[in-house]
Amino acid sequence: MLAATGYRELGMFDEAARVIEEVDAEDKGRKEVLAVRVDLYMAAQNWNLVAEVARHLVDIESENAAWWINLAYATRRAESIDKAQALLLQARKLHPDNAIIAFNLSCYACVTGQIDQAKTYLKHAISLDSNIRGLALRDEDLQTLWSWIVDSA
């Protein structure tokens, strides 16, 4: 998996995929291998494949918030923001103190015009991780809130 990750980092997606395909059949379903697949597909912006693998990871390990975040991110791009938002609302029940889930919910709410809800999610995310404030000030999804973020500092 180290070689596949190296190829992905170099933008050599076909080579990374080839290395992953060379993994023994009995190991292809391991979480470590699937995580590398998700990273590769995300880098290649193949949102349907990210969603497919991330969905499987959510099914086998729902306690890992990263799988939910990856699934929602890919679903937003492959299907719709509404479906991605629904996934993160599910994830939030399992991971109420995950700052990235709250942050992404804020982004989705902002993009869909739910400004008060976006502020609520963002306040919660920042309370969990103060670094989220800087991230929010760079995220185009939250551009509508930028002056509010600065003023509420």
What mean pLDDT, rounded, does the chain reach? 91
pLDDT at position 7: 63
pLDDT tens per residue across span 74-131: 999 999 999 999 999 999 999 999 999 999 999 999 999 999 999 999 999 999 999 9
28-90-81-142 Cα dihedral, nearest 10 degrees: -110
55-85 burial: b if 16+ Cβ within 10 Å, else e: bbbbeeeeebbbbbbbbbbbbbbbeebeebb
pTM score, whole prediction:
0.87
